[in-house]
Amino acid sequence: MLRALQVQNIALIERLELEVQPGFTALTGETGAGKSILLDAVGLLLGSRASGELVRTGANKGIVQGVFDVSGHFAHAVYELCQAEGIELDEEQLIVSREVSTNGKTTARVNSRIVTVQFLRELGRLLIHQHGQHDSISLLRKEEHLALLDAYGGEELAQAKAAYRDAYINYIEYTKQLHNMEQNQRERVQRLDLLQYQMREIEAVQPRVGEEPELRIEQKKLQYGEKLRAVAEEVYEKLYEGSPRIPAIIDEVYHLHQIVENNIKFDDELKELQEYLQTAQVNLSEAADFVRHYKSQLEFDPERLQQVEDRLATLERIFLKYGETAQDVLAFYQEIESEYEKLLHHEETISDLQERLLQAKQALTEMAQRLSLLRRRVAFALEQALAQELDDLLMPKVQLHLQFTETKPSITGIDDVEILFSPNQGETVKPLAKIASGGELSRVMLALVSVLHASAPVPTLIFDEIDTGISGRAAQAVAERIAHLGRENQVLCVTHLPQMACLATHHLAITKQMEEGRTRTFVRPLSHEERIAEIAKMIGGENVSETTRRQAIEMLTWSNAFPSL
């Protein structure tokens, strides 16, 4: 769960350090005080989209950091995800931070290691679920209803969806291949002619891997053959042959070796010099042999030089068209040869693809039917669970049904799902978007959150004014349901309802103040007396009367006896 939150230079928040408690925490304050800003800051830790406009005016960057306690039955999935990313968890603690610069660029870190925003989203789904007014509005969009159903389906439904998705992708791939094969006959013939021309051109050249470097070496030797031969003859003559006036170097070294050998008897230290001269004789002899062999291989052959340069020009032309090296050209040849064979045996390939497509379609149909049946079974269970939740939220007569319509196969299956709703017994169920009021939508959303959380729990739930449009006994029921969620989870709830605030085990007040000509948002925990004053304001407005104060005291007194607390 979230244990601490630090926010710096995000919108109206200049600097905030907040210790977050377990259980149910209410966040209250006037409209515009900065409640949503605080939740936006938490959203940054969960991988929400960032904007440079979030950075406080005058600052270069905004920073949000959260410290999470990773323990209990929630820890395993977090450990696995972090381990795959190479992130170590110290003392069951996770420190997540995100910096946002004024140009919109962000840097995310988990335990000091830089991570992607995508990883932050994956991690965030395991740590916190946020729900707000926009979630209630999303219930009005029919396309969201299938995703809600699938989220309730658990692992079995997830595996069925994955198997169907693989079958669908396979089917689409074969469909595309068959379509491409059935392209215009004229295009196929033109393509065959082009491929044949390219193949013949490469076959005519017959490039060989390693041929070009060998030719470059030979070209250089042929170009400078006369000069190299002259150098080799001069070296050989001075080393081995000598001249009438100047003896060969090998002979001179031999003579020096004899002189030293004859005088060793006078000084033993000359033995080392003798060995050097003996080694020099051996090396000079080997050098002479090398030069003799080297010059015998050298030749100046203009005809061969022309052949080499012509071959290099041919290779360069083929490399320019089909690849940078002989290996690239040969790989390209294999590709076009394979395509040529397929186009040449066009009818056979089409027949084979048609058979594979038929098999893929059969597999897709089986997977689609299995997925649809499983969804209908899950839908019945979801309806039952929602009915119980809505009964607890003072909607006992409500009718809620998930209607299935079969559609053409798509990446999500063959099911079009829509939530049908009737708030009154005896009335026909109709699309939720057409007849549900704002308060009813909020309660249906809370019921969905409750049942989905039960099937895929996370340690922290955040509600942003989910009680909008609710009052009276319905507000009380919603408050009690959220308080119940706070028994086993950390729950943070932004609210304007005194019924909600009084049931919280912790209460944070969010205020906005002017200091030195700048507006700043502050968050502070409330004492018991401060809670009485805050709830009294929520009941009767800014001017607290004895009556509203007594009501606030009564509500807090009653909340102390509430079963979840």
Residue 240 DSSP code = I
Given a cut of 90, whether residue 319 has pLDDT beyond it is yes
202 pLDDT above the threshold of 90:
yes
Judge whether residue 8 has pLDDT over 90.
yes
Same domain as 127, residue 235: no
**pLDDT of 134:** 62
Indicate the SS3 state at residue 97.
strand
* Structure confidence at residue 562 (pLDDT): 67
Residue 485 lies in a domain: yes
**Helices of type H across 182-240:** 185-205, 211-223, 225-236
* Residue 113 main-chain phi, psi, to 5 deg: -95, 130
- Residue 455 in any domain: the answer is yes
Q: Mean pLDDT in the chain? A: 87
Which pLDDT does position 154 carry in this prediction? 85
In a domain, 220, yes or no: yes
Mind listing the pLDDT tens digit for each residue in 449-465?
888 877 777 888 988 88
Looking at residue 138, its pLDDT comes to 62
For residues 241 and 250, give the distance between their C-alpha atoms in angstroms, rounded to a whole number.
9
Q: Is the pLDDT of residue 487 over 60?
A: yes
Q: Give 438 or 66, the one with higher predicted confidence.
A: 66
> Which of 533, 452, 516, 462 shows the shortest CA–CA distance to 492?
462
User: Range of 236's domain?
Assistant: 210-324
Task: Please report the pLDDT score of residue 181 as a whole number.
Answer: 72
Tens of pLDDT, residues 69-113: 988 777 888 888 888 888 887 778 899 999 999 998 999 999 989
The better pLDDT of the pair 468, 12 is held by 12
**Is the Cβ–Cβ distance between 364 and 168 less than 8 Å?**
yes
> Where is pLDDT greater, at 6 or 242?
6
With bands split at pLDDT 50, 70 and 90, how would you rate the model's confidence at 357?
very high
Q: Any idea which of 190-194, 367-371, 391-395 has the lowest mean pLDDT? A: 391-395
- The percentage of residues in the chain with a pLDDT greater than 90, rounded to a whole number, is 41
Residue where a domain stops, chosen among 324, 344, 373: 324
Same domain, 7 and 128: yes
Position 196 in a domain: no
- The Cα–Cα gap between 553 and 543 comes to 16
319 close to 325: Cβ distance less than 8 angstroms? yes
Number of domains in the chain: 2
- Statement to judge: residues 134 and 247 lie in one domain: no
Which of the residue ranges 93-107, 127-141, 181-195, 278-292 would you say has the lowest mean pLDDT? 127-141
> Residue 183: its pLDDT value, please?
67
Stretch 253-260: mean pLDDT, rounded? 89
- Is 303 inside any structural domain? yes
Least confident of 76-90, 195-209, 410-424: 76-90
Q: Is 130 found in the same domain as 228?
A: no
26 contacts 13 by C-beta, under 8 angstroms = no
Quick check: is 130 in a domain?
A: yes
- Examine residue 108 and state whether it is found in any structural domain, yes or no: yes
104-108, 139-143, 538-542, 543-547, range with greatest mean pLDDT: 104-108
Same domain, 133 and 6: yes
Least confident of 311-320, 436-445, 523-532: 436-445
Is 526's pLDDT higher than 60? yes
Are 123 and 240 part of one and the same domain? no
Domain termination residue (choose one: 324, 349, 366): 324
Cα 105 from Cα 90, distance rounded (Å): 28
User: What is the tens place of the pLDDT at every residue in 20-38?
Assistant: 999 999 999 888 778 888 8
Rounded CA separation 135/153 (Å)? 19
Q: pLDDT confidence of 160, banded at 50, 70, 90?
A: very high
- State residue 453's pLDDT score: 79
Domain boundary among 324, 353, 380: 324
* Contact by Cβ (8 Å): 94, 82: yes
Co-location of 135 and 29 in the same domain: yes
* Domain-located, residue 348: no
Q: Can you tell me the distance from the alpha carbon of 417 to that of 537, in angstroms, rounded to the nearest whole number? A: 44
**In the chain, pLDDT over 70 holds for what percent of residues?**
97
Asked if pLDDT for residue 332 goes beyond 60, the answer is yes
Q: CA-based Rg of the chain, rounded to a whole angstrom?
A: 42
pLDDT of residue 408: 94
Instruction: Let me know whether 110 and 220 are in one domain.
Output: no
Per-residue pLDDT averaged across 157-162, rounded? Answer: 94
DSSP class per residue in 38-76: HHHHHHHHTT----GGGBPTT-SEEEEEEEEE--GGGHH
Residue 415, pLDDT score? 95
Give the CATH number, domain containing residue 8: 3.40.50.300
**pLDDT for 410:** 93
pTM listed for this prediction: 0.63
Confidence band, pLDDT 50/70/90 cuts, at residue 358:
very high
pLDDT higher for 282 or 515? 282
pLDDT for 565 beyond 60: no
Of 377, 466, 430, the residue nearest 133 (C-alpha): 466
Say if residue 215 is in the same domain as residue 307. yes
| Rounded mean pLDDT, 39-65 | 91
pLDDT at position 493 is 92
Q: Is 136's pLDDT higher than 70?
A: no
> Is-contact 441 140, C-beta < 8 A?
yes
Residue 277 has pLDDT above 80, yes or no: yes
Bridge-based pairing state of the strands 430-431 and 460-464: unpaired
